[in-house]
Amino acid sequence: MMRYLAPLVIFAIMIPVFMVGLKRDPTMLPSPFLDKPAPEFELPKLKDLSQTVSNKDYAGQVALVNVWATWCVGCRQEHEFLIRLSQENPLPIYGLNWRDRREDGLAWLQQLGDPYVASGYDADG
């Protein structure tokens, strides 16, 4: 009898767990950064290493900060959208070129367009 009852009990416990999961909005991504100030950073600019870009550049305003790399497949897919967004929207977009070769990052922006107000360069991550 227990042999048949155990799967039923497990199934009965799993139904509410799945129901809670199904009620969640799949478009909402949890983030520990919501409603918090941006982390502090200061990096050399990709186009001019003698200048810097930092979180202080957009302090007190809403801005989009996009971390990107030339080897990142998702970055290539979103790049066209970022170009359109920068042309159609007053929202400033800052880029952080991450773990990339500087020459590759510069060539990428030259070939595909540069949607960024400024792009920081972080070769080491």
For the segment 79-102, the average pLDDT, to the nearest whole number, is 97
Paired residues of 120 in beta bridges: 45, 96
In a domain, 7, yes or no: no
Torsions phi, psi for 78 (to 5 deg): -85, -10
CATH number, domain of 101, equals: 3.40.30.10
Q: Does a structural domain hold residue 109?
A: yes
Phi, psi dihedrals of residue 46, rounded to the nearest 5°:
-60, -40
pLDDT band at 99 (very low <50, low <70, confident <90, very high): very high
Res. 4: pLDDT tops 80: no
Please give the tally of structural domains in the chain: 1
Residue 115 in any domain: the answer is yes
pLDDT on residue 11: 77
21, pLDDT greater than 80: no
Has residue 18 been placed in a domain? no
> Per residue in 23-71, pLDDT tens?
877 777 778 877 888 889 999 999 999 999 999 999 889 999 999 999 9
Assess if residue 19 is contained within a domain: no
Instruction: Classify residue 57: in a domain, yes or no.
Output: yes
Does residue 58 sit within a domain?
yes
- Measured distance CA(44)–CA(26) in Å, rounded: 37
pLDDT at position 1: 66
**Does the pLDDT value for residue 89 go beyond 80?**
yes
Residues of the domain holding 108: 30-122
Cα–Cα distance for residue pair 101/99, rounded to 1 Å: 7
pLDDT at 14 over 90: no
**Considering the domain boundaries, does residue 10 fall inside one?**
no
